[in-house]
Structure 1
């Protein structure tokens, strides 16, 4: 172990031990304070101090004990056997040999636009152990071999610098601080809990500073193998591939999932899209915001990483040609589709049929939402497009059209009605094309086909207007999405981020994932709870932050819903709820 690594290991161990000593000393001190208060003022007069001390002391001790429990390591993803992809294994082992380190013992594949390594050893990870390498399938799909070489070499650089030996120590400290913080989160009013906050801040500053330095060391190690040019290209590709992956899933795949459809070849489809629309994706990436560097960032800012490569050899010690995707056999790509989308209960169809059927289903869904609105406004049920024309002919068109332009009518609702009628009339079909979905029209749309289903209840369509984590309803915690027509409560089970995140960071990560998808329809695989405003007879937002909502439903039942204190959310759910409830005429 190098001198620099030994120093960082000592810092990590010192921070870990320091927090346990600091927290235990604080718990003992609080206990002594409670004892002094009882002796000085008696049991009755000292009761507020005693209760406050007890809550904090038990919270600290409980959090420390919880952090000591050993959590089994689960790398996730799909383990890749050597016989399944011998070329990729040889590629990785050759890179490790060039880096002068032992190669990973296991390779895993997952759906993230990322790559990482870890080492699971004894003595809090300070002793050598089993090495794991995770490679994101989007990287393998989109990058040339030279840039993948740079990424794998970067990860091997972490092995060379023994950075992975420090990971478990840092994780244990993060776990201890997170568990204690989670137990004290609701004790914001108690000043006895406040002194633990500065230590958590100092630890975060030190740990992330060490992490950023390690990333720069790994970058330099990768440049020595793949070349500085390849490393720069790989760093820039992170955002481009990420933008392309998100665009692909949103524009090509996600619209069919709620309707039970999955295309054959999800990953190979991304490769086709990437080859056809690479310049378009690059333009998408340029429109993404560049977030300023933060003091708690675990990775240096992109500009800092690129600048640090100046002066290093442009060419590497190995000449790579071809695409990284060729390192996996063709049969394995389709076998990995289940990592990207849930295949259970869904029909797998060819891309041409998937595009036609899924786009038609999406338009029909929007049309049904529009039909529900029309049924309320025209009194015709089941609603029809001809009812709109009939109202227009009788002089009611201006008032009706004004309502169709209002916030409750679905965007492009009339267009969806016409498109659905055209599809049902065999006058329209959707032709799959990697440049976009083409709508091909013929003459002969039958207006008689423009008929909606009998109206029952509004369904959760459209995007999320606002989000909040850790909302309690019926004695159960949920994540809440505010939509146009109701509240969607999404359970935690099946959506928890990796266990490496601290307890306080996990709600934020869950909300980030929801924002990334921005559609309730992508969560139909989970046991969501849908609360449509149309079922409510009254509602009252009693408090904004934390949110407190009471509402009554048609059956006379009274319901309450609220956030925990110090909620994690995007935006202002209470303000938006008032607007949505006012549109339904039930809010106050």
Structure 2
């Protein structure tokens, strides 16, 4: 299929959207006129006038937005030819072999991906400025041959003129999506547009999948079948490693106010240290079976197609792709340009991991301190480990009270013994704050907790000794002191629980809390209660606006936040509509009542809320 035919297909599908709109407008207008003649003009306008007005406004607004919109400006960090001559030379050679014009810019992005974009004109029939995006992780982990295969695939989109249709497809999706969102779920016209939108996406995605197969042919012509298949096979494993790297090494530090000084160097270290695991991931057969709604074919199907093509004898360049560019400088440039670190502290990797893990231990300790404080109604100010040792030394009774706060389902004797675990966390914090232990970076596993000499630091036996008897508490304190661990150095920082690191689980609008109308946001760490939220019939829209415009942490800071750790019991007397009572540790209760006009952010929001209440039941 030629570029002109593809452009014609996209334009035809987009035009069909407006034909559907015109036909609906004509139908409703005709029925309105018929009712006006047969029944009464006032009745006709009363019944169908709102539908006409909404349809005209929705289609008009969506059309205007689509025609005036422009694709997002280029992102990433541009790399000039003089900055990376080897990379530009490779791309120039590949463009010649594929038979297409060079990109005007090469940009580095922090993604396990490569892509191309073209600012075309006249509905994609006239080419424009070209951009190639190269993911820095690809340069860090691939060979030159594998990278050449990936880039040849992207250049194949240029030679096939696939990129010229981006503007048409973008405007089509924008117009249809905008109209559907404005019409709402209960408008009959919206049902017709949804059906057409499904057809539009089916056709557009089918064309996209075919283009991926065509671009793979360019990859084989340049790199050969084996290298092309190997590069494609490695991308899912590399993407999984990138996700693991962020989840394990980056996000916890980011949430606690720290950033590594060279993020991408860390990823390179991780990949090097876990080569065996990555090789195992690469060897697995892709499980994705694909869907007709996907824009890309399944990886397994693409690899099978690649291996069925005529091979091209090519001697693969097995040098690391990093030789094409200054990796260290490029990594720091991308991090500086694309990460807004705010007021976070930037540290070298070893210090960063220690600071990140210490912050995590501090939060765990704060939660323990808050529970201990519940048995000290007269105490004021933050607690320290020294306070806890004083309480534990008082004998079985105070120890049982502490254990019951942390392990409500255990027996009294079990709760006292189980407190050795949380106490070990507090001792770890004291060791960290006293400088006698630290967290050591590891790329092959979790960070290691070690003493000054690098040996594993283990305080389990001391914690068990401390809860064994008043004499054991005194002996445990003496041993810690002999190690240089100061009990008072482990001090409480957060006296109230926060929503830091929370995710949104559900949203419920128009829920009565103690007879006052609220919106309720269910987080992984607590409930956000928003009083007097607004009009009842705008509940779902309001929830989506709230959740789409801010973070869980900001919501908890702005409105009343009810941490789960402050809830001692719940009772659900009716599930639909929900009736429940929440009991707090200070004895107060909250009456929860779902109303007939309550709305939900997602279909399962009520079920999620009920599940959370059930898990909090004592």
Q: Aligned to 1:267, what secondary structure does the other structure show?
A: helix
Compared CA separation, residues 332 and 197, structure 1 to 2 (3 A)? closer
Equivalent residues of 1:533, 1:581 under 8 A apart = no
Query: Could you tell me which residue of structure 2 aligns to residue 387 of structure 1?
Result: 388
Compared CA separation, residues 455 and 353, structure 1 to 2 (3 A)? closer
Alignment of 1:156-175 (within 5 A): 156-175=155-174
Query: Could you tell me which residue of structure 2 aligns to residue 140 of structure 1?
Result: 139
CA distance in structure 1 between the aligned counterparts of 2:224 and 2:449, rounded to whole angstroms: 46
Equivalent residues of 1:465, 1:484 under 8 A apart = no
Query: Could you tell me which residue of structure 2 aligns to residue 370 of structure 1?
Result: 368
Equivalent residues of 1:77, 1:110 under 8 A apart = yes
User: Residue 261 of structure 1 is aligned with which of 251, 258, 263?
Assistant: 258
Instruction: Tell me the alpha carbon deviations over residues 65-105 of structure 1, each in whole angstroms, 9 at most, x when there is no partner.
Output: 22221325412122222222222111111111111111111
Q: Aligned to 2:355, what secondary structure does the other structure show?
A: helix
User: Residue 526 of structure 2 is aligned with which of 462, 480, 485?
Assistant: 485
Query: Could you tell me which residue of structure 2 aligns to residue 218 of structure 1?
Result: 215
Equivalent residues of 1:418, 1:450 under 8 A apart = no
CA distance in structure 2 between the aligned counterparts of 1:284 and 1:309, rounded to whole angstroms: 20
Query: Could you tell me which residue of structure 2 aligns to residue 440 of structure 1?
Result: 450
Query: Could you tell me which residue of structure 2 aligns to residue 230 of structure 1?
Result: 227
- Where structure 2 has 5 or more consecutive residues not aligned to the other structure, the ranges are 410-417, 452-456, 458-479, 512-518, 531-540
Query: Could you tell me which residue of structure 1 aligns to residue 477 of structure 2?
Result: none
CA distance in structure 2 between the aligned counterparts of 1:88 and 1:399, rounded to whole angstroms: 66
Q: Which has the larger radius of gyration?
A: 2
CA distance in structure 2 between the aligned counterparts of 1:333 and 1:206, rounded to whole angstroms: 39
Equivalent residues of 2:503, 2:524 under 8 A apart = yes
Q: TM-score, normalised by structure 1?
A: 0.80
Query: Could you tell me which residue of structure 2 aligns to residue 493 of structure 1?
Result: none
Q: Aligned to 2:290, what secondary structure does the other structure show?
A: coil
Asked if 1:458 is matched to 2:494, the reply is no
User: Residue 239 of structure 1 is aligned with which of 236, 248, 253?
Assistant: 236
CA distance in structure 1 between the aligned counterparts of 2:330 and 2:277, rounded to whole angstroms: 28
Instruction: Tell me the alpha carbon deviations over residues 300-348 of structure 1, each in whole angstroms, 9 at most, x when there is no partner.
Output: 0111101101233555546323111222213222222235643332332
Q: Aligned to 1:135, what secondary structure does the other structure show?
A: strand
Instruction: Tell me the alpha carbon deviations over residues 103-147 of structure 1, each in whole angstroms, 9 at most, x when there is no partner.
Output: 111111111221111211210222111111111112122111111
Query: Could you tell me which residue of structure 2 aligns to residue 492 of structure 1?
Result: none
Equivalent residues of 2:76, 2:338 under 8 A apart = no
Equivalent residues of 1:228, 1:312 under 8 A apart = yes
Compared CA separation, residues 16 and 529, structure 1 to 2 (3 A)? same
Of 311-320 and 196-205, deviating more is 311-320
Query: Could you tell me which residue of structure 2 aligns to residue 499 of structure 1?
Result: none
Answer 1 or 2: higher relative contact order, Cα 8 Å, separation at least 6.
1
User: Residue 562 of structure 2 is aligned with which of 533, 538, 543?
Assistant: 533
Of 529-538 and 68-77, deviating more is 529-538
Equivalent residues of 1:37, 1:50 under 8 A apart = no
Query: Could you tell me which residue of structure 1 aligns to residue 4 of structure 2?
Result: 6
Q: Aligned to 2:132, what secondary structure does the other structure show?
A: strand
CA distance in structure 1 between the aligned counterparts of 2:578 and 2:405, rounded to whole angstroms: 31
Query: Could you tell me which residue of structure 1 aligns to residue 186 of structure 2?
Result: 189
Query: Could you tell me which residue of structure 1 aligns to residue 465 of structure 2?
Result: none
Q: Aligned to 2:609, what secondary structure does the other structure show?
A: helix
Compared CA separation, residues 471 and 542, structure 1 to 2 (3 A)? farther
CA distance in structure 1 between the aligned counterparts of 2:508 and 2:601, rounded to whole angstroms: 7
Equivalent residues of 1:546, 1:567 under 8 A apart = no
CA distance in structure 2 between the aligned counterparts of 1:419 and 1:390, rounded to whole angstroms: 17
Deviation of the 1:24 alpha carbon: 2.4
Compared CA separation, residues 243 and 180, structure 1 to 2 (3 A)? same
Query: Could you tell me which residue of structure 2 aligns to residue 401 of structure 1?
Result: 403
Q: TM-score, normalised by structure 2?
A: 0.76
Query: Could you tell me which residue of structure 2 aligns to residue 64 of structure 1?
Result: 63
Query: Could you tell me which residue of structure 1 aligns to residue 461 of structure 2?
Result: none
CA distance in structure 2 between the aligned counterparts of 1:362 and 1:264, rounded to whole angstroms: 20
Asked if 1:278 is matched to 2:275, the reply is yes
Query: Could you tell me which residue of structure 2 aligns to residue 429 of structure 1?
Result: 438
Q: Aligned to 1:533, what secondary structure does the other structure show?
A: strand
Deviation of the 1:399 alpha carbon: 6.2
Compared CA separation, residues 230 and 335, structure 1 to 2 (3 A)? same
Asked if 1:334 is matched to 2:332, the reply is yes
What is the aligned length? 548
Equivalent residues of 2:258, 2:345 under 8 A apart = yes
Q: Aligned to 1:128, what secondary structure does the other structure show?
A: strand
Query: Could you tell me which residue of structure 1 aligns to residue 429 of structure 2?
Result: 420
Compared CA separation, residues 455 and 182, structure 1 to 2 (3 A)? same
Equivalent residues of 2:156, 2:218 under 8 A apart = yes
Of 171-180 and 332-341, deviating more is 332-341
CA-atom RMSD, angstroms?
Answer: 4.6
Compared CA separation, residues 139 and 26, structure 1 to 2 (3 A)? same
Equivalent residues of 2:581, 2:592 under 8 A apart = yes
Instruction: Tell me the alpha carbon deviations over residues 166-222 of structure 1, each in whole angstroms, 9 at most, x when there is no partner.
Output: 22222221111111111123xx22324322222111111111111111100101111
Compared CA separation, residues 167 and 29, structure 1 to 2 (3 A)? same
Compared CA separation, residues 394 and 527, structure 1 to 2 (3 A)? closer
Compared CA separation, residues 104 and 481, structure 1 to 2 (3 A)? farther
